[in-house]
Structure 1
Amino acid sequence: MITRRMLLSGIAASAAAAGTGPTLTGGAQALTRAETTRAETTSAETLPLTVANKTGQFGNASIWLYIVGNADNQQVRVTPDGTLAPVALSDNGADGFADYAIPLSASGDTKLTLPRMSGRIYVALGAKLKFKVVTDGAGKAALQYPAGWVSGDPNYQVMHDCAEFTFNASGMFCNTTMVDMFSVPLAIRLTGAKDQTTGTLKDGARAKVFSDLRAVEAFEPLVIGDDLRVVAPGHGLGAGLFPQDYFASYIDRVWDAYASKDLEVTTNAGTFTGRVSGGRLSFTGPATVAFDKPSTKDVLFCDGALAAPNDGTTGPVAAILGAGFNRTTLHDTAAQPTTDPAAFYGEQITHHYAKAMHAATADGKAYGFAFDDVADFASYIQDTAPTAFTLTLTPF
């Protein structure tokens, strides 16, 4: 089965091996729900891709596209003619960077061909992105990705964003993401057995995201420049932009609450019943699993004490706990996961970044944190018989 973690694991491995580039902690290390079982039929070898510029502020000549990722156990990129090419050290130019930009058509929509691969579609507005090919620890060519949350990154001043996808024999599986940051409003449409769209922002929602987060003291420093982007709070921790102990009081309340009552977590494997004892939240049920008390960093990245192995037992419980912490429903609701979005983000100490992202989208779905697909609240769509994919840069 395909999971979002599997979709991104190759990118993360290459970035980590290279020693720089993004640390895709949210997407790459967070186990999310199984997104599909293998289809009985085989999808086409290529998929028509349309890129539509509806920004209203940037002309096609000021926007560049990059399609990068993994195929056949190597880092690859897509050329303007739709060819899948492995990245190579020789791609780096005199400035030390590889120009993998795909220009948009002079006017109207841009028609491209997407080959089978797993990766990201980046858009850059106003200036090109600087990718760099390096050698990883195994001696293979690896690509350093933009890290908009790192002030020293060469792409820090460039407005950019991305969507994620896996296109293979089983179909097309894709999402918009705010796990790392948010800058450019993007919508994705997938047609095939169904016609699906997600990621579309409400009118004026981009500006409202920035204003809403500026209004919350702990989150205000995460807004970069004159509304260039907002950085996810997990990355804000490393940059000194977000309090290291932000969730500490809420984590304490959860641990105190379940020292005297049961917490029930229901997964596809069955219902797990947990209590806090000896400082650990321990569950019995289909399997015995236990978690140390998490830190704010663990909660924001859904990692560390909340790490989720792809084992069908600990992983799904960790995912639901991670969602409950980030949505701050865990303390008051002893039966998890919670599925009513009206109950999410109701605490003063909550994930205001994810809250703002969900409030901004027309369908209420977003990838504001790694386990945002728990109970199906992520901006994710899939089709096992895809016929076309459209990425739209929506109005600012």
Structure 2
Amino acid sequence: MNIRITKKSEKKLKAGYPLVQKEDLQETPQKFSAEWLDFLDSKGNFVASGYLGEQNKGIGWLVNRRGSIDSEFLENLFLKAKNERAVFEQDLGTTAYRLFNGEGDGLGGLTIDRYDEFAVFSWYNETLYNMKEQIIQAFKASVPEIIGGYEKIRFSTQSLPESQKLFGKDAPEPLLVLENGVTYATYLNDGLMTGIFLDQKEVRGRLIDGAAAGKTVLNMFSYTGAFSVASAMGGAAKTTSVDLAKRSLPKTKEQFEVNQIDPAEQKIIVMDVFEYFKYAVRKELHYDVIVLDPPSFARNKKKVFSVAKNYGDLVEDAVTILADKGLLIASTNAANISIEKYKKIIIQALDKKHVRYQFIETYQLPIDFKTNKHFQEGNYLKVFFIEIKK
């Protein structure tokens, strides 16, 4: 089936931009078919093969600019992705990493994470999900060492569970994986999350290498406490993990325990982050290192949080309880905010607090989260290490 793109969008799509928007098409089909399509320019010339699928960004992806998409093409795509991550395959200290990163590896709408001998597929639209048989067969042919697979459904649907077994053997619960020599307990079939965000491996690596050695660390929006564990393994004097979710307490305890760290010697608090800031001020608590890694959007009974509107408030609250010459680790995965805009939000908040500061380190996605140079919004992670003097 052929799809015509508009003259206006030709330059952008021909130059390598992979995401198709509704306004890029001369005519949008009422129903998206579960098959590969040929995208043609206004003169009927071939641009690329790809597919249409509704997801949170755009309505389709260009995939192969040299011809059609078949099993051999998909096998080569997965084989290339695997070969580019050989450094992780050979690293005995890291057994969890991203094996295939959507449009960065040539197929937008699908990510595959490796957890030891298991793989977790994340589907971002229904069209690709409906073609999964061909995709999984190609994957198995290219990565035969994977003994079991799970899937996460990341598009709106009433009929599918958000997580389920896909093929092969069952993963143990917990499945213990390594990253930079540190152990993390993961659960491959427990909702959309597994217990660790693999895109933060370099930041955790920096903490393991001693960025917080001898210091007190406050980890806000701590989830399962991965930053806290990394800090403790890197010699932090004490960690405090704060998250509103009740299950963050047993999950964080488990992460410490699998690394032979006594959780009783660390603080794990179930509380709203903004409430904890107030509590810390009342108790005159101060921390040498504060990690701020909120979800890009969150809602509780009292308020709605979004990075664009509220991250500055977080920074101001953090500075209030940060020790002099303290370190602020500011992080976001909000794809809709550029790194320049994010830095500006932070600087405005720091200026309001009348402190001296220096941005000393910057991190974006690690190399296993391969990005497409024509698609900058795919490089969503932004992390700053900021030294603050009061």
TM-score, normalized by the shorter chain, greater than 0.5 = no
Return the TM-score normalized by structure 1.
Answer: 0.31
Return the TM-score normalized by structure 2.
Answer: 0.31
Greater RCO, 1 or 2 (C-alpha within 8 Å, sep 6+): 1
Structure of larger gyration radius: 2
